Amino acid sequence: MDNIGGAEIVTLTLARELNADIYTTNINGDHIKEMGFEDVLPRIQSIGKIPIQAPFRHQFCFYKFWRLNLSKYKPDLKYDKYIISGDWAMSGATHNKPNLWYVHSPLHELWELKQYIRNSLPSLWKKLSYDVWVWFNRKLTLRYAKHIDTITCNSVNTKDRIKKYYKREAMVVNPPVYTNDYSHRSVNPETPTNSLQNTKYWLSVNRLFANKRIEIQLEAFRNMPDQKLIIVGSYEKGAQQFESYKKKLEDNCPSNVVIQNWVSREELIDLYTNCTGFITTSLKEDFGLTAVEALASGKPVIAPNEGGYKETIVDGVHGVLIDEIDADKVINAVTSI
């Protein structure tokens, strides 16, 4: 709960609607308040901090939740059920039952994006170290999965991955979105609309991870100097896995693109309301919460024709789905819209 993205928003929403407590590791209270969940904050407790650097972050997360036994940690509280909402928290199923695992993605680093991540590593020894780490943690997660009673997930796309990797069936429950919080405003090119960029603009909202392929967006808008793009990119300060990609993007950012590293929920809703349309280039996205937020704002979405986007966007109706997305195809989609 320190870098608040889609998965964390889902967890906070569930906690609010189910009047549930949250046990987590790192907590950023200011970000939680700014995303509109100040009422949930008193019910969030840390079970101990973990490092911010990968892969130590992941490993310590597994360890902390594996040790967690709430019947002993909080003997005065009797919970009816434990919801594990967080993929690196699945080890919490070991001592907390009955439980339900809400899967956002079956641990990308170990399964679906394994080859993509390996190919991005700069040296042979890092690739080999990564191979060993993946081998060890795959065995660990398969062991933890045996302690999970019920599995639900965010999309049919994720359901298929759970079946592929864990040989388990899952029920699809799409992530909750407060769609009534969003509204549509048609953009008049002669009227200044937004405090961040007083002109027409496209919007992109992502974590600053390499698999979001934000460099495609930069390249597309570099070749559309008459168009503007605002990128909201959350990241964890000091974490190498974020900082290196953030620097790469900033070093290659054209003048007609603005990168905002953090905005409040109120500011984010305003950005959705006033944008021309929404762009995402995420690789094999599990569900795609931001696309739903854009649709709730009545804005067309440009997205890859893959992953969870195929479950929420009808090509030619809600926007444009692109096969094998690249900068030229994004330009064509912007032009057609």
Q: How many CA atoms lie within 13 A of 255 on its CB side?
A: 2
**Phi and psi torsions of 84, nearest 5°:** -95, 105
Q: What is the pLDDT of residue 190?
A: 54
User: What's CA 102's distance to the chain center, in Å?
Assistant: 14
What one-letter code names the amino acid at 106?
Answer: P
Alpha-carbon gap, residue 199 to 287, rounded angstroms: 30
How far is CA 213 from its chain centroid? 13
Note the pTM of the prediction, 2 decimals.
0.90
Q: Give the per-residue pLDDT at 187.
A: 64
Could you tell me where the beta strands, DSSP code E, fall in the chain?
22-24, 44-46, 82-85, 99-103, 150-153, 171-172, 202-207, 229-234, 257-260, 278-279, 301-304, 319-322
The pLDDT value recorded for residue 236 is 73
Q: 246, 238 in Cβ contact below 8 A?
A: no
User: Is 23 in contact with 45 (CB distance < 8 Å)?
Assistant: yes
Do 257 and 233 meet the contact criterion of CB atoms below 8 Å apart? Answer: no
297, 182 in Cβ contact below 8 A? yes
Helices (H), 4-155: 6-18, 29-34, 56-67, 70-73, 114-120, 124-145
- Characterize the bridge pairing of strands 150-153 and 99-103: parallel
Helices marked H in 167-284 — which ranges?
A: 214-222, 240-251, 265-274
Query: For residue 195, what pLDDT is reported?
Result: 47
Mean pLDDT by 10 residues, the chain (337 residues): 90 96 96 95 96 91 95 85 93 96 94 92 93 96 96 97 96 95 75 55 93 96 97 81 86 95 92 96 96 97 97 96 98 96
CB 105 within 8 A of CB 112: yes
> Tokens 């090509």 belong to which residue?
315
- The DSSP secondary structure of 36-47, one letter per residue, reads T-TTTGGGEEES
The CA distances from residue 294 to 65, 84, 135, 152, 275, in Å, are 34, 27, 38, 25, 9
Rounded CA separation 89/85 (Å): 7
The span from the CA of 2 to the CA of 187, in Å, is: 34
Tokens of 283: 């690789």
Residue type, 283: L
Pairing assessment for the beta strands 202-207 and 229-234 based on DSSP bridges: parallel
pLDDT for residue 196: 45
